[in-house]
Structure 1
């Protein structure tokens, strides 16, 4: 059985937070950096920061 994993919106953010890798396009670099400021990694989970409530765990849907 083969599982097809499409690229997720989380992949560039996770790659930037974990490895420091950024896309080559300047506009994409800015978008990833701005989005990544609202997230952090806790183990292997991506967590969204929240100022007025609990921090939210991001999950991937198949």
Structure 2
């Protein structure tokens, strides 16, 4: 099973939350801001907010192999 190491969907959200950087496209910054409202950073971990359950940690490629 091969897992891609390409930039993931999390990278723009993490960059926005950590540095406030947005893409220069017309529609993408709005989408990233809306998605980022559902997440927060705890150290170097991206955490998904949840209303009725536990907050979920989003993992990237190196940690996926450990989880599998």
Shift of 1:34: 0.2
1:60 aligns with 2:54: no
Q: Conserved in 1, the CA contact under 8 Å of 2:23 and 2:29?
A: yes
Q: TM-score, normalised by structure 2?
A: 0.81
Question: Using the alignment, how far apart are the partners of 1:25 and 1:59 within structure 2?
Answer: 26
Structure with bigger helix share is 2
Please provide the CA RMSD for this pair.
Answer: 1.4
Count of aligned positions:
59
| Structure 2 alignment gaps of length 5 or more | 63-68
Question: Using the alignment, how far apart are the partners of 1:26 and 1:50 within structure 2?
Answer: 29
Once the two structures are superposed, residues 10-44 of structure 1 have per-residue CA deviations (whole angstroms, 9 ceiling, x without a partner) of 00000000000000012000110000000000000
Q: TM-score, normalised by structure 1?
A: 0.89
Q: Which runs of 4+ in 1 moved over 6 A?
A: none
